[in-house]
A and B are shown apart, each in its own frame.
Chain A
Amino acid sequence: MIHFSFLSALRRLGRIIRVWLGSWWQIVLFGVLVLTLTLSPSTYDRSGRRAIARQIVSGTAPNLLWFTVLSALISVVLIRIVVVTALSYGLSRFAIEMVVRVLVLELIPLTAAMFVALRCTLPDGAELQLMRAQGTLDALQRQGIDPIRHEFLPRVLSGVFSVWMLGAVSCAMTLVLAYLTIYGFTPWALVGYTRVVGHVFNPAVSLILVLKIFFFSLAVSFIPMASAYYDGLTAVRRHRTNLATGLAGMVRLFAVVLLIEVASLMGNYY
């Protein structure tokens, strides 16, 4: 009896691992599929271009303003905290470096990725899942229109672009805000500030930042879409709600983002 229950537990564990590995494999497959389509020139025909342009504009433009305002507020508060704390310890010359490291290298890219995920790609994933549930995607396929090329790919590219755009804008803005908060409206400290920024952004740190933003954008764009593409099918089979599959995709996305952040921290500080 005990032997039997142990075997069944093992079998269940094996099934869970298989499903878990399978879901990751599906994400990789989806990524390769989308990458192939991205590199193929036929994607950028007139209708494809329009679909991609529409997704990029609708995904980035509204978020850009809001995120810029939000990150500016957070940046000003954090810069002030860091500068005042450093000053109270008599370590003001390390304040700029700390601000640049904490905000530009770590917090802003992470916040940009999370913002894009919550405002753009996760809702897009839910929308696609809903379309699949309603049979819209099947209808498109029946009409001879590839749903991956016309529905999934533009949203993925829009997500990737959003993360890059928001990250670039908010990083640049934080650098400007840090200068203004520490020195005020004077151009005379620009040389020293530029030198400190140059110190922080050595080739290794710059490369890690670029790679981090790149992988964040991939994770934020691919995982919700892949979940929508594959889990939509399994959800119908397994009678799960859209909300449950969406939450599962979100957890997966956050886990990956966390892993990328930890890897970048290890690269920067170990």
Chain B
Amino acid sequence: MPNYWLNHTDISMTDKVHDASPVPAAPPVANIEFKAALLLILMVVLVSASAIYLMYARGAFESTQELVLIADDAEGVVVGMDITFAGFPIGRVSHIALSSEGKAKMTVDVVKKDAHWLRSSSVFTMERGMVGATRLRAFSGVLSDPPLPDGAVRSAEIPRLLAATKELIQNLNTMTASDSALELSLRNVQSVTEKLAGKSGALGVLTGSDENAKKLYLTLDRANQLLATVDGLAVKADSQVFGKNGVMPETRAAMVQLNGVLSDVRASLKKVDAVLVEAQAVGANVKDATVDLAPLRADVESNLRKVEQLVNEINRKWPFKRETEIKLP
């Protein structure tokens, strides 16, 4: 190629249009049309091969089966995203839409040759990491279960740990909220510690306020005074009770007298006991007598019955039978 661009760099900008050396004709190249055709073919082949490779890379030549994943939120999921099984991509998200229930509906094209990893009991999860895109993963616990049918609908779950963490964080948020029980308790603890560190100290905490604490102090003082008075009283009572002419010596004398009375009472009771023994003997006699009374009574009763029968017999046979019938005029 003629290098005229460089030939003209030494021309100053103020120069006018000038006559330069004439353009030499390009040297003839042998088989020029063949070479050009070769270049064209090379480019067409290259572009076609690239296009076919890209189509292959995007799974245009793979036979697939459909799987529909339902999730609460499709954030981070994009069309063309992989779904992996044990870290190996087995399918791609081909379509994302909002279902009539207001949930995200992700259609995944699973490659037929890898579809046997998915079973009817497979679980699908959607993970969002701190770095990188959202990941769709499939887990098959029991590989002997029946294979997943074409067009199956499954829910994409958030992993349990993640869900638990989410719940935990939510609970923590609730606990640490400005009007939460923990916050109120902490505030109360703070006020208590403030009172503890204050003038009234722990007494202020127990009584509730400084005024009550003062009242308690006053009460204590009064109790002290009362105790002093009681002490004086106790000294006096001691002399009254245990003194020479106190209550206690006299009580002891009374007790001695009472002892004598009691011994008298014991002797009297012994006498009463003897009387009771005699009374018991009388009672035994009476009992015997009542035992004899029973046949006597039987005899009397039989005699009476005989007398009655006799009277009845006499009444029947007696000529002076009384007329019992009354005749009216």
Contact = CB atoms under 8 A, between A and B. Distances in A.
Interface of A: 49-50, 52-54, 56-62, 91, 93-94, 120, 122-123, 126-127, 130-131, 133-134, 136, 161, 164-165, 168-169, 171-172, 194-195, 197-199, 201-202, 206, 235-236, 239-244, 246
B54 interface: yes
Contact of A194 (B4, B20, B43, B56): B56
Contacts of A169: 46
A199 B80 contact: yes
Given A165-B39, A236-B17, 7 more contacts: A59-B1, A127-B2, A130-B20, A130-B23, A168-B50, A240-B17, A242-B8
Given A61-B35, A136-B23, A172 B46 contact: yes
Contacts of B12: 241
Between B4, B18, B22, the greatest number of chain A beta carbons within 10 A of the residue's beta carbon is seen for: B4
B11 A58 contact: no
Interface of B: 1-5, 8-9, 11-13, 15-20, 22-23, 26, 29, 32-33, 35-37, 39-40, 42-43, 46-47, 49-50, 53-54, 56-59, 79-80, 82, 89, 131-132
A64 to B, nearest CB: 8
A143 to B, nearest CB: 15
A52 B36 contact: yes
B80 to A, nearest CB: 5
Given A50-B32, A161-B39, A134 B11 contact: no
A209 to B, nearest CB: 10
A172 B51 CA distance: 11
8 closest A-B pairs by CB: A198-B57, A53-B36, A198-B58, A123-B5, A53-B33, A194-B57, A168-B46, A56-B36
Nearest to A165: B43
27 contacts: A52-B36, A53-B32, A54-B29, A57-B29, A58-B1, A60-B39, A61-B35, A123-B3, A127-B4, A130-B23, A131-B23, A134-B20, A134-B23, A161-B43, A164-B47, A168-B46, A168-B50, A171-B50, A172-B46, A198-B56, A198-B58, A199-B80, A202-B79, A235-B17, A241-B17, A243-B13, A244-B13
